[in-house]
Structure 1
Amino acid sequence: MQTFTEKAVAIIQQIPAGHVMTYGQVASEAGNPRGARQVVRVLHSMSKKYDLPWHRIINAQGGISTPEKAEAKGDTQRQRLESEGIQFDDKGKIPLDIYRWHPPLEI
């Protein structure tokens, strides 16, 4: 049986280019609907090891969540998403009804 972390990694690895998922959505799909902060931890500690497409994970409002001190990382995330064809609205948000990815039932 897979752990939450293993499930989260598997889900994130499968997000196709040009699509996004929210932290909470990944957490829910991995078995813990209240585990959005755990997804942050997974991304922070395992993105390099598993070559995770970290830039495809956004907040529930369709925005990029980066601390003010990490503004350059937010710029990098936006550039990567735009290079995959994702368009931001005039408020800097990604329309989730267009770009949200839903994984297959079995991961």
Structure 2
Amino acid sequence: MKTAEIKVTVELDDNNVPENILWESTDSANKEAVPVKSMMLALWDHNYKNALRIDLWTKDMSVDEMKIFFFQTLMTMGDSFLRATGETNIIEDLRDYCDHFADKMQIPRS
């Protein structure tokens, strides 16, 4: 059995607000910690049938960056849900909502 480790380091200011977030993985080609401005981690507790979440962002992440981050996260969550369930009808609805979200947030799309 192979084991991989993902490590997230959060540097906090005096008020416990994230200043820096770094992540690294034993499976990554890049062996150095990579700085990021935001993260969302969701885990499924099968015993309690409950999602466990950690959402963090650095104090220098702009609102415009956060809008793009949420848009991209919603889109990729839809992709993951489709791969996991094959539920195409609801994914079309989610993608329609994501288009609406991008329009409302004035997020440029290519």
TM (norm. structure 1) is 0.28
Higher helix share: 1
RCO greater where, 1 or 2, for CA within 8 Å and sep 6 or more?
Answer: 1
Greater per-residue strand proportion: 2
